């Protein structure tokens, strides 16, 4: 049975003032740090609050193991387990770039922005293969880029600046880029308003974010492109996500020790139906706590190891 749970963090100040009362009502609460609560325990926690502004919560849907739903999955979200740790000046320069970007309408349920001219500090070595840089953008090594080019010749690499002043380019790395976009995803119950304090808030009509697993309509499934961007924003800076076909995912998993893969559901599959039911329930619960904050992460396990095993037969 697939259950709805909540990954929950409580503010330290509220925890210190109410520790005994909280633990008496919810014995599994050990401290204020991030932990998984059952739906019943989470609702008890909400009942003990007045404004709920001390709670950061993420609905967690524990889907079956990858091998049990693999045949339902035709596309995957590409991500990386590595985040580039750069000097503060470079990080700030990249966030400023994200804030200045104009929006593009690609037919999805919200407009997107595509970052360019990002900074990669020369103090850092090139990543082993692929790593997060800023927003939903990746930095890749030159060797890994060449390998990706064989999977999809329509990708290209953008130069990255070596410093926050943007006076020179970094060597040995590229920003991964492509001008191919997926068909629009279905607007499901997991598409909810972005939260205050996360990303860009001053753009009319762009305050939505998908906190669950993206869903593509069956008639929209198109594997003519191996690597593409989503038509909707997948992060709080309105950047599109990266989508790869199942065959591309298996090849990338075999090449990369850092790549991670989340599933994309097809409309009408059992996984899609379960997600719709449980996110409707999650939205109803969270509506009772208007001050609580969703942390908005995907909720399924990484498929990387399973894809690597499958890729060995290619």
Bridge partners of residue 261, in order along the sequence: 78
Q: Are 94 and 107 in contact (CB under 8 A)?
A: no
* Pairwise CA distance, residues 44 & 48, whole Å: 6
Q: Whose CA is closest to 198, among 237, 171, 166, 148? A: 237
Q: Strand 35-38's sheet: what is its strand order?
A: 35-38, 4-10, 55-61, 293-294
| pLDDT exceeds cutoff 50 at 205 | no
Confidence of residue 156 (pLDDT cuts 50, 70, 90): very high
Q: How far is CA 226 from CA 68, 77, 250, in A?
A: 24, 12, 11
Say whether 269 sits in a helix, a strand or coil: coil
What is the share, in percent, of the chain residues with pLDDT greater than 70?
83
The pLDDT of residue 253 is 92
Spell 180-218 as b/e; 16+ CB within 10 A means b. ebbbbbbebbbbbebbeeebbeeeeebbbbbbbbbbbee
> Which tens digit of pLDDT belongs to each residue from 217-238?
766 656 678 999 999 888 777 8
Spell 163-177 as b/e; 16+ CB within 10 A means b. bbeeeeebeebbbbe
Q: Is the pTM of this model over 0.75?
A: yes
Most confident of 15-29, 92-106, 202-216: 15-29
> Which tens digit of pLDDT belongs to each residue from 278-302?
888 888 887 776 666 665 444 566 7
| Residue 70 DSSP label | G
> Which tens digit of pLDDT belongs to each residue from 90-148?
888 888 887 777 888 988 888 888 888 899 886 667 778 899 888 789 999 999 999 99
Per-residue pLDDT averaged across 259-268, rounded? 87
Encoding tokens for residue 115?
Answer: 């970052």
């Amino acid at each position: 049975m697939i259950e709805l749970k909540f990954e929950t963090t409580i503010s330290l100040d509220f925890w210190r003032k109410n520790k005994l009362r909280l633990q008496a009502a919810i014995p599994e609460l050990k401290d204020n740090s991030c932990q998984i609560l059952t739906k019943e325990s989470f609702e008890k926690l909400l009942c003990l609050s007045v404004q709920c502004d001390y709670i950061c919560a993420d609905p967690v849907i524990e889907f079956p193991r990858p091998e049990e739903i693999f045949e339902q999955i035709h596309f995957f979200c590409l991500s990386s387990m590595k985040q580039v740790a750069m000097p503060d000046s470079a990080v700030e320069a990249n966030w400023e770039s994200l804030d200045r970007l104009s929006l593009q309408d690609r037919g999805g349920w919200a407009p997107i922005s595509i970052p360019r001219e990002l900074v990669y500090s020369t103090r850092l070595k090139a990543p082993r293969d692929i790593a997060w840089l800023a927003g939903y953008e990746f930095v890749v090594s030159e060797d890994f880029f060449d390998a990706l080019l064989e999977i999809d010749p329509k990708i290209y690499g953008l130069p990255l600046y070596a410093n926050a002043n943007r006076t020179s380019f970094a060597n040995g790395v590229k920003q991964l880029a492509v001008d191919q976009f997926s068909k629009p995803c279905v607007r499901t119950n997991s598409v909810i308003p972005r939260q205050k304090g996360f990303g860009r808030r001053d753009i009319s009509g762009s305050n939505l974010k998908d906190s669950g697993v993206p869903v593509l309509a069956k008639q929209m499934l198109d594997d003519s492109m191996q690597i593409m961007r989503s038509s909707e924003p997948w992060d709080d800076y309105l950047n599109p996500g990266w989508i790869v076909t199942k065959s591309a995912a298996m090849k990338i998993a075999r090449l990369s020790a850092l790549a991670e893969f989340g599933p994309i559901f097809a409309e009408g599959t059992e996984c899609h139906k379960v997600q719709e039911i449980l996110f409707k329930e999650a939205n109803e619960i969270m509506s009772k706590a208007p001050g609580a904050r969703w942390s908005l992460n995907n909720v399924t396990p990484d498929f990387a190891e399973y894809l690597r095993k499958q890729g060995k037969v290619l």
